[in-house]
Each structure stands twice: as C-alpha cells, then as structure tokens.
Amino acid sequence: MAVITNIEDLRVLAKKRVPRMFYDYADSGSWTESTYRANESDFQSIKLRQRILHNMENRSTATTMIGQKTAMPLAIAPTGLTGMQHADGEILAARAARDFGIPFTLSTMSICSIEDVQKGTDGHPFWFQLYVMKDRDFIERLIDRAKAANCSALVLTLDLQILGQRHKDLKNGLSAPPKLTIANMIDIATKPRWALGMLGTPRRQFGNIVGHVKGVSDMSKLSEWTASQFDPALDWSDVEWVKKRWGGKLILKGIQDVEDAKLAVSSGADAIIVSNHGGRQLDGAESSIRSLPAIVEAVGKQIEVHMDGGVRSGQDILKARALGAQGCYIGRAFLYGLGAMGGEGVSKVLEILHKELDLTMAFCGHTNIENVDKNILLPGTYPKAN
C-alpha cells in the first residue's frame, strides 16, 4: 500500500500481515458483536458544527490525563497478546507513545514483561493495567514490580471477572505461541514478515506470568492456571485493597453504569474509564460513547472521566472530549498499526489521529482543546444524560 491516510488503511494491511488467530483476537467482539460494532457506529451518528472566520493559528491539542501532560487527550489502552501482533509489540508501542508524548498502558496479559518495557523505553514512565486474580501473593508481587518499574499509574480492570464468549477465538484455537497445527502452519507461511520477527525474539509467551507464578514455568501450564485464576468474587473491597497496596494514581476501567461510577468515586480512585471492554464482554451493552454523558453528569466534578471503545479517528477523540471525557484510549487502532508496520505503524496511527483531531478542532472554531465542549456538536445528533 503506497499511501496510508487513515486507520482503515492500516487495518487492511494488518489483516494481510498478521496470522488469522491474532488478527481475529484483536478485531472481534463477543457473541453477535453488536456492542463491538455499536462502539464505532455510534460515533459516526454524532455530527459536528462547522464554524468559519475564526483565527485558526497557534492551535494546541495538549492537555493532561490524571495530571500527566499529554500531547493530545489520548492514551494507548492495555491489550493482551500485543506482542503476538508483531514481535516485541509492547516495547515498540511504548516507544511510539513515549516519542509522541502520550501514555502507554501495559496489560497484565502482555507478551513483553513489565521489565522488558521498562528497559526498552529507557526507564520512561508508563502505566500498568492489573487484573486481580485469586493468587493474591502473585498480585502483590505484580503490583510491586510495577512500582519498581516506575509505572506512574495503575489501571485496574473490573469487567473481566468472567470471560465473555468470543466465537472467533474458540474457532481459531487461540494460544500464545500458536499451536503448530497444519492450518496454523499454512497460515503463518503466508505471513513471512511476522514469522521472521517472531523467530528473532525470545518473547513469545506471557512475560508477566511465566516464571513469576508458582508451578507455571512454561506455556504448557499457563492456560490451565489462567482459566482458574480470574476471580468471579471480586468486589469493591478488593479495589480498596489494591489502592492501599499500590499507593499511587489509580484508574478504574470498565465503568458503564452511573451507579457503578458513583461507587468508583467512593473508592477514592483518581479516574474512571467508561468502557465495555471493546465489546468483548457483555454483548448487547450500550456503546461507550452513549454511556459517557450520563456518567459525566453524575460524577464528572468528583472524578476524572476517560473513555474507550470505537475510537478510530481524531474526530472521535474530539467528540468524546466534547461530551466530557478528559481523554480517550485506543486499542484496536494502534494494534492495526503495529500489525501492519511495527513501531513505525503505531507512530503512523498517532500522527493520523493527531492531524484529524487538530484539523477538525479548527473547522469547529477552536484552537485549544481545553475550550472544546458540546457546543461543537449538532443538537439532536449526540447522546444526552438521561
């Protein structure tokens, strides 16, 4: 592809270059995928007001998220198996985020470990996402490792106590590294760039887990351990325990309901992420952008509100900001760039999103992201608080 101008171009290229099971893992939702699709399509139904004859010079998209300066209201979301979209994927994405000036969030279920990313970014601070599992001793040590790596925020995911059914993962027999079945070997043979990259790295398993959990020294025991470890008994008291153990900035991910947002405020967290896990958990749930206004109205003055789900353009970032989100997160968008072109692809994603955000903000009559509000949106086209 000679000229890449948008995120869709990178998605098409990633689909050609990444083995099917890992591409499908990134680009799918649970059950009928209705919420996965709504996350994106509901952004498209929101229309913008074009304004003219405003001075468009000296524009700025710079802002903060939990007090940290960012080049635009955007962070890279935690995504599992990132290092299976491209060799050393988490390190490459973290470097791209660092160089652009936005936060990168590392998943518990990453291929590259906390320590790998710290070393690969020369000690630059990043955020770490935590799943609370039954093995509390392991979780305590994982939190301590994040502290030691100078992680500047902890993102606690709350909507994965049990795993939503994702049909494509089941049909593809998802595993890391992929099982050497005939179908997988044929598929990988058609993805030589991916295969050569994987042959050149030792990072092909869950780096935060293997070697750090008793009885899990290799991948043969990992799936059994993981299946038994997600904790369906997780409750708000566990949030208090994590907050105390961590002691730093805490962001709660997976808030979709106003009542849960109010409980998040009571927990003492610094921010919440309005999120339905990218449509990968409860299919039929409301899209994140439609859930956002009611949550902002209920708690926005008491806690910082972020959102993820369906962000594919700079216009989406602007719309979310207009509806009260201090910042957004991208998951699939950066994975498309990573799968298509490695670290260069992630940088390309950020450049595309920033340009779209900057130009759209100007067309809507603003030169500073801090002044953007719902007045840039066409009345009757955007969701309102109930």
Catalytic residue positions? 277
Q: CB within 8 A of 215, min separation 6: which ones? A: 221, 225
- Percentage of the chain modeled with pLDDT above 90: 86
Q: Note the pTM of the prediction, 2 decimals.
A: 0.96
Q: Which CATH superfamily is domain 7-376 in?
A: Aldolase class I (3.20.20.70)
Distance of CA 382 to the CA centre of its chain: 24
pLDDT tens digits, residue range 56-83? Answer: 999 999 999 999 999 999 999 999 999 9
13-35 mean pLDDT: 96
Torsions phi, psi for 176 (to 5 deg): -135, 120
pLDDT at 4 over 60: yes
pLDDT for 222 equals: 64
pLDDT of residue 324: 98
Residue ranges of the binding site:
25, 78-80, 107, 129, 131, 157, 166, 253, 275, 277, 280, 308-312, 331-332
Q: State how far the Cα of 340 lies from the Cα of 346, in Å rounded to an integer.
A: 9
Instruction: Report, as an integer, the average pLDDT of 171-176.
Output: 82
What tokens were used for 75?
């962070």
Say what angle helices 288-299 and 258-267 make with each other, to 10 degrees: 50
Q: pLDDT for 102-159, tens place per residue? A: 999 999 999 999 999 999 999 999 999 999 999 999 999 999 999 999 999 999 999 9
Residue 27 above 60 pLDDT?
yes
**Structure tokens belonging to residue 211:** 């070697």
- How would you class 193 by CB atoms within 10 Å of its CB: exposed for 0-12, middle for 13-18, buried for 19 or more? middle
Instruction: Give residue 6's pLDDT band: very low, low, confident or very high (50, 70, 90).
Output: very high
Element (H, E) at 153: strand 153-157
Annotated binding-site residues for FMN read: 78-80, 107, 129, 157, 253, 275, 308-312, 331-332
CA dihedral (276, 307, 270, 335) positive or negative: positive
Which of the four pLDDT bands, split at 50, 70 and 90, describes residue 221?
low
Q: Strands 250-255, 63-65: parallel, antiparallel or unpaired by DSSP?
A: unpaired
List the binding residues for glyoxylate.
25, 131, 166, 277, 280
Mean pLDDT along residues 289-315: 97
pLDDT band at 2 (very low <50, low <70, confident <90, very high): confident
Going by C-beta distance under 8 Å and a sequence separation of 6 or more, which residues neighbour residue 350? 74, 96, 97, 100, 102, 334
Q: How far apart are CA 124 and CA 343, in angstroms?
A: 16
Give Cβ neighbours of residue 384 (< 8 Å, ≥ 6 apart): 293
In contact, 191 and 185? CB cutoff 8 Å: no
Q: What is the mean pLDDT of residues 179-188?
A: 89
